[in-house]
Amino acid sequence: MPSRGQSRYSLRQNLMSDLSPVVPVPSSALPGAERDLLPPPWVGDLLGQSDRFRLASVRVPGATALDRVAFHDATVHAYRRLEAELRGGQALHPVRLWNHIPGIHDALGDGLDRYRVFNAGRFEALSQWYGGNESFDTRVASASGVGHDGEDLVVHCLAADRPGRPVVNPRQIAPYRYSCKFGPKPPCFARATVIQPDDGAPLVLVGGTASIVGEESVHPGNLARQMEETLTNLSVLLGEAAGKPSSPASLETFRELRVYHPDLRQRRELRLLLEEAVGRRVPIEWVRADLCRSELLVEIEGVAELAG
């Protein structure tokens, strides 16, 4: 694979009016807050390896200034622009999405925060993209959705020339089947997606994973227990991806991990807990971010190699 130094991306020019491909730049050329809004390093490695994959990105400037209706409409429009961009090439099938939502828990009226309004807009756009929400089981891509301290909505979509294979975690309800407790429209993403690169074993693209069982957050306020539950969910997902539902897989099959967490003071403890589980061989990227639920203390995503 290409060196990790080739896998960083600039977000410049990725405005609503310009969906130009992102341009590789050294990490040091971007401010820290902007680096946190980029796709993880493995995406650049994959794009450098094959022209079967494509990354489309869109930024909605000043999203925090939009009211509920305007932000909903901007989310729908952002996803429709991504769809239109991908239809211009051979990579038509979304396999992984990253959503960076500013002020994710800001109240927008009618009992809704910005994340729930975002989910409603995403649901509308993806229902149209996939020809109806009844196809989510087989077509929806894995994703992450986290908050940040800036003002813009930033969305990245990794697409492939063939559909990925969604993976279900039997310990959790599929997000797009959540009850109305979590908003008028549910979040639309798969827990993980399996893709086949040109060379090597299939890859498991694991979406944002947290301490959730069924549809409920568990162990509020307990960092160690939330990390334990999150790691269990990751292991079960890898086992499901490998077709071995009764055999949770080793986390050492991860090539890279990205950890989102809201409290920088907890990073050292999180690092110790994670390194104990995966070892020091797996590269780990750390991002301070507000999570989709205020009671969650950690969320982990990554890419793993599917063992034969």
The DSSP secondary structure of 109-148, one letter per residue, reads: STT-BHHHHHHHHHHHHHHHHTTSGGGHHHHPPEEEEEEE
Q: For residues 176 and 165, is the Cβ–Cβ distance under 8 A?
A: no
With a cut of 60, say whether residue 14 has pLDDT above it.
no
**Extended beta strands in the chain, E state:** 9-10, 14-15, 18-19, 23-24, 53-60, 93-102, 142-148, 153-160, 165-167, 192-195, 203-209, 212-213, 216-217, 254-261, 284-288, 299-305
pLDDT of residue 31: 67
For 53-90, how does the pLDDT look when each residue is reduced to its tens digit (9 = 90+)?
A: 999 999 999 999 999 999 999 999 999 999 999 998 89
Q: How much is the mean pLDDT over the chain?
A: 90
With a cut of 90, say whether residue 213 has pLDDT above it.
yes
Least confident of 69-83, 164-178, 244-258: 244-258
DSSP 301: E
pLDDT of residue 46: 95
Q: For residues 75 and 153, is the Cβ–Cβ distance under 8 A?
A: yes
Q: For residues 54 and 305, is the Cβ–Cβ distance under 8 A?
A: no
Predicted confidence band of residue 15 (pLDDT cuts 50, 70, 90) = very low
The closest of 34, 22, 30, 53 to 303, measured between CA atoms, is 53
- Rounded average pLDDT over 129-158: 94
Written as six digits, the tokens of 271 are: 């690092």
Residue with the bigger pLDDT between 78 and 32: it is 78
With a cut of 90, say whether residue 248 has pLDDT above it.
no
Other beta carbons within 10 angstroms of residue 138's beta carbon come to: 11
Residue with the bigger pLDDT between 5 and 35: it is 35
Residue with the bigger pLDDT between 248 and 109: it is 109
pLDDT of residue 25: 42
- Angle at which helix 267-278 crosses helix 223-241, to 10 degrees, equals 40
Q: For residues 205 and 167, is the Cβ–Cβ distance under 8 A?
A: no
Predicted confidence band of residue 246 (pLDDT cuts 50, 70, 90) = confident
pLDDT of residue 7: 42
% pLDDT > 70, the chain: 90
Q: Residue 160's beta-bridge partner residues? A: 53, 93
Written as six digits, the tokens of 254 are: 């991860």
pLDDT of residue 308: 61
Spatial separation of the C-alpha atoms in residues 24 and 29, rounded to whole Å: 10
Amino acid occupying residue 215: E
Q: Residue 166's beta-bridge partner residues? A: 193
Q: Which structural domains are found in the chain, ordered by start?
A: 4-305 (3.30.1330.40)
Predicted confidence band of residue 133 (pLDDT cuts 50, 70, 90) = confident
